[in-house]
A and B are shown apart, each in its own frame.
Chain A
Amino acid sequence: MDSRHPETELIAYLKDELPPRSRETVARHLEGCAECRGTLADFRTLLAGVAAAPAPTPAWPRYRAELRVRLESEAGRRRWSWWRRPFPVAVSAGLAAAVLALVIVAPSVWRNERTARNVEGLNGFEEVVLGTRLDLLRQYPVVERLDMLEDLDVIRQLDGLEARREG
């Protein structure tokens, strides 16, 4: 007889899950070990007792009716998952509108601002140019009376004309 008591092997033996050789070994041990035979018998009795013990039993029609209600409410909840409920939809729509507005309006505002800055710059440039040509503006009454095509020589001499007049 094998002096070592089978423990978990006893469970496998009970469930008839041992390979033939191990089963034989346990069977041989059981033949010579009253303690293990008693344990095995008790295990069988206990499992039979648990199998036969009555558990509370609900009324099945009511149980199924409740299950159906829960299933339907669960299906409804999944259909209206959080991101499809009214509040998140409103918030999301608001955010989307804000982003859209930003995308559409911001570039045009930026463009207008830039144009205004350019115009300002252009005006400044023109003033500088005009400042350098003030002498010509001073001769404006003379220029006004000239026929541009015929009196080109006079125009070319305008600066000299002024100098001569002052001299």
Chain B
Amino acid sequence: MSDLRPLVVVDRSLADMSDEVLCQRVADRDEAAFDQLVERYQGRAYRLAWSIVRDAEEARDVSQEAFIRLYQSAGSFGGRARFSTWFYRLLVNLCLDQRRKTRWWRQIFAGSDGAGRPGEDAGESLLDRQPAPATDPLEGMAKERETDRLWAAVGTLSPQQRAVVILQAQEELSTKEIATILKCSEATVRVHLHRALMTLRRTMGNE
């Protein structure tokens, strides 16, 4: 059980620092600052990665890779954008690359897209898993089924559309920030979001 012991002892003063300051310290090879950023972003990074790649193992791999890139290239964060925008851009690009790489064999092994139901993480034992966020407002079996349907519908979106929906819904980023992350225009982000929501609406039978 030793591997379940928290490895990170977070410095209280670091906990008060902004993401941008922590990133500057990571650029100076401050390991504690890096651990602090990982603590802050691990949940959102993993969730965002999972939402795009729809595979628990890949989400783990890609989100960890994003943190490694963060450690290696923290010096290139110019501070012009928010740290979160810069980091999400790194992460989303890795996710989209991952999708492109795995697309061909997913087609071969169609039927097992590795997504599974949320909470059914094939790569982990029951002991590894932690409870879903306590903020989940959906209760009861009917709502659980609706959630499953919604995630299945999200799974049918293109990776770009899915990324826009997740960044909008979960991170509540501005259109400008999402455009920066996806390297496209704000108009394109709005078109992606509109089409994605229309597709979801149709799939969920609301139309």
Asked, given contacts A50-B154, A50-B166, A64-B42, whether A56 binds B174 with beta carbons under 8 Å apart, the answer is: no
Check: A163 CB closer than 8 A to any chain B CB.
no
Given A60-B42, A70-B68, CB of A53 within 8 Å of CB of B7: no
Q: Is the CB of A55 within 8 A of B38?
A: no
Whether A141 sits at the interface, judged by CB under 8 Å, is: no
**In the complex, per-residue mask of B105-145: 1 if CB is within 8 Å of any chain A CB, else 0:** 00000000000101111001001111111011110000000
Contacting residues, chain A, for B204 (C-beta < 8 A)? 46
Interface: A133 (CB within 8 A) = no
* Contact of A59 with B124 in the complex, beta carbons under 8 Å: yes
State the total of A-B contacts with C-beta under 8 angstroms. Answer: 138
A74 at interface (Cβ–Cβ under 8 A)?
yes
- The chain B residue sitting closest to A47, CB to CB, is B169
CA distance A58 to B169 in the complex (A): 21
Give the chain A neighbours of B193 by CB distance below 8 A.
11
A49 CB–B CB distance under 8 Å: yes
Instruction: Please report which residues of chain A, range 124-162, place their CB below 8 angstroms from some CB of chain B when the two chains form the complex.
Output: none
Interface locus among B15-23, B78-86, B194-202: B194-202
- Do residues A58 and B150 form an inter-chain contact, with CB atoms below 8 A? no
In the complex, the answer to whether B150 meets A46 with C-beta atoms within 8 Å is: yes
B135: chain A residues within 8 A (beta carbon): 52
In the assembled complex, A24 has its CB within 8 A of some CB on chain B: no
Determine, out of B45-53, B87-95, B96-104, the stretch whose residues face the partner at the interface: B45-53
A side interface size, CB within 8 A: 36
CA A8 to CA B166, docked complex, whole Å:
17
Q: Is the CB of A59 within 8 A of B7?
A: no
Q: Are B46 and A63 in contact (CB-based, < 8 A)?
A: yes
Bound-state CA distance A10–B166 (Å) is: 18
Q: Contact: B60 with A63, CB < 8 Å?
A: yes
B175 to nearest A CB, angstroms?
Answer: 6
Query: Does B182 have its Cβ within 8 Å of any Cβ on chain A?
Result: no
Residues of B within 8 A of A113 (CB): none
Check A66/B130 contact, CB under 8 A, given A7-B194, A42-B206, A50-B166. Answer: no
Q: Are A39 and B201 in contact (CB under 8 A)?
A: yes
Interface string of B51-93 (1 = CB under 8 A from A): 1000010011000110110011000000000000000000000
Report whether A57 and B68 are in contact in the complex, using a CB–CB cutoff of 8 Å.
Answer: no
Known: A55-B118, A59-B127. 11 other contacts (CB 8 A): A8-B190, A11-B175, A42-B206, A46-B197, A50-B169, A55-B47, A56-B116, A56-B118, A56-B121, A57-B129, A59-B4
